[in-house]
């Protein structure tokens, strides 16, 4: 019998390709945006260090099996939701004046990035 931790690890492994695809979509949107290179670099870094990606993972698990067309829309929806979450974290850092999580000391740049996303 597996533990909850093992079952969760198995589920994440099962959806790892989709989670990687979601991160790739988020990065593609940022790279396609006409923004300052420092802004793009910080956003890409935020995506690379986005943690467990729990929201996209839960969306994938709840959605279950779907057609290819539905799956594509599901991945884009998950990417949009995760980008919104990252933006809220960046803006929260401004409110809290936290410089530890994002390691950014330029509040003006952080505000622009959070609003841009």
Domain annotation for the chain: domains and CATH numbers: 4-116 (1.10.600.10)
What pLDDT sits at residue 96?
A: 75
Using an 8 Å Cβ cutoff, are 93 and 102 in contact? yes
Angle between helices 16-32 and 37-48 (to 10 degrees): 170
For the whole model, what pTM was predicted?
0.77
Q: Helices in the chain by DSSP H: which ranges?
A: 4-14, 16-32, 37-48, 54-63, 68-96, 107-116
Q: 92: which residues sit within 8 A by CB, 6+ positions away?
A: 98
What pLDDT, in 10s, does the model give residues 14-57? 899 999 999 999 999 988 887 777 778 878 888 887 778 999 99
CA–CA gap between residue 44 and residue 23 (Å, rounded): 9
**Is-contact 87 117, C-beta < 8 A?**
yes
Residue 112 in this model has a pLDDT that exceeds 80: no
CA 44 to CA 39: how far, in whole Å? 9
């Amino acid at each position: 019998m597996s533990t909850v931790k093992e079952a969760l690890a198995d589920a994440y492994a099962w959806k790892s390709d989709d989670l990687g695809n979601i991160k790739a979509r988020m990065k593609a949107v940022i790279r396609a945006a006409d923004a300052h290179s420092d802004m793009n670099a910080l956003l890409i870094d935020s995506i690379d260090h986005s943690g467990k990606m729990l929201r996209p993972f839960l969306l994938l698990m709840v959605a279950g099996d779907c057609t290819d067309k539905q799956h594509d829309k599901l991945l884009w929806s998950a990417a949009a939701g995760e980008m919104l979450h990252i933006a809220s974290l960046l803006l929260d850092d401004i409110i809290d004046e936290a410089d530890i999580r994002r390691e950014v000391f330029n509040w003006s740049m952080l505000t622009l990035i959070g609003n841009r996303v």
